[in-house]
Structure 1
Amino acid sequence: MIRCIIVDDEKPAREELKYLLRDFGKLEIVGEASHGAEAIELNNRLKPDLIFLDISMPQLSGIEVAQIIIKEQKNKPLIIFVTAFEQFAVEAFEVNAIDYLLKPISKERLEKALYRITNTNKFTDSEREERIERLISHLKAGDIKRINKIMVYNNGILIPIAPSEILYVTVEGRNTILFSTKGKFELSSTLSQLEDKLSSNNFFRSHKSYLVNLDYIEAIEPWFNSTFMIKLKYVSEKIPVSRSQSKDFKKIMDIN
């Protein structure tokens, strides 16, 4: 029996992977973590044979978690990275002999990854450390272009939302709400976590409660106290730009 833990900062993504793994009789899920520090603690305490490790997480990325586990912890499990990298990133993962799953995860690709785990010899600790280091070098050198897919639930089904499909994200009560060309969805991530994930895309935190896709701006209305109101395409609600953010907004939008 292969004992594994699942690490992803988004609960829907963890639930989807657990659902896909239910048919694999030789695998037992012994724990799950929502952030890197928790993953490190679980690895030390539960000593799993395998970790499904999301790469894009706040504070500690999956790569950093893997590096700590391989370098500093006694238990050195096999690692399957779960990632939103584009297809052309696959070559870099293959070169480093580290397995990966691209979101959204297909059952066929998961079967292939688990087959490799159960039918190949385990790497030595030094070999794993070397492969992690080489992968980090690829990332730092810019050989992999990062993209982000935001996974949302709709009637029990996971739907991937590309950054280009997101109009804006806001907070309603205690809930994070994403408005997209595919509709309105509630998320488990915080607004700050989404801001971090979408940092390489054309998004701007216009207000403590709003994250806006600048590509959808249709008009900008000057407001009181040097603030602004944004009119987005396909959206009736106007989005505020707070006073603290107005200076950066004017610079980004080239407003004199």
Structure 2
Amino acid sequence: MTNGNRPIRAYIVDDNVEAIEVLQRILEANHPVEMAGTANDGLTAIDQVVALQPDIIFTDVEMPSMTGIEFCRAIRNEVSPDTKVVFYTGHDKYMIDALRQQAFDFLLKPCSPEDVAMLMMRYYENKLSTVPALSAAAIPRHQSILVVNAMSEHIVLQAPDIAFFRFNADRKLWEAVCCNGDTYSLRTRTNSDVILDYSTDFVQIHKRYIVNVLHVKMIQNSLCILNEPLQDIDELKVSKNFKRSLLDAFYAL
């Protein structure tokens, strides 16, 4: 988990009790999150939030005593700069105001577990980006790849265990497919250049595919055939723009 192996502490502000219960249930059932507290109006929440200093705050926008935007302004200088505020509302017309208030993210009601999972993934990635990087002199070439999944599990994949990468157009992110068939989503800011920099064994064959050349058994009719047990995968088509570099890497083995 993040935050020194303790759960993420969340606080929810919403005048709709049922909405609080739904979001709390999704967070606690699917993520390493504990509730620091809840409130049904912004005025009550201000003092509690200042005292509790939660890691992430979910606030509705339309509330009787004050709006979520006013609440956000009131606590801005009273909480840690690392505290993230998520506007949680049924009205997408507030999105521009949310961005202007520098809210970390925006969640529309009614939210699904998948919506919350994507939001939490961005939260974990943001936390990870604040970890100081090792110097380039210490590690001139990456040999492992860090994956952070929606459960805040930090998984390290070793380059030799990865058979290929593919770009998931629906989710707009790269995935690593391992030799055992397991698939892992990479961090959203990972692009093809980042992947290729991990290892000289990674070779791009298509705008959507990068293969580990060590696991390529043959190149047949512009198709990469992998070693067992992935020999039946037939999606690794080689585009003309990348064929020369693939052949060079393959025959250099």
Give me the TM-score of the superposition, normalised by structure 2.
0.43
In our comparison, the structure showing a higher alpha carbon Rg is: 2
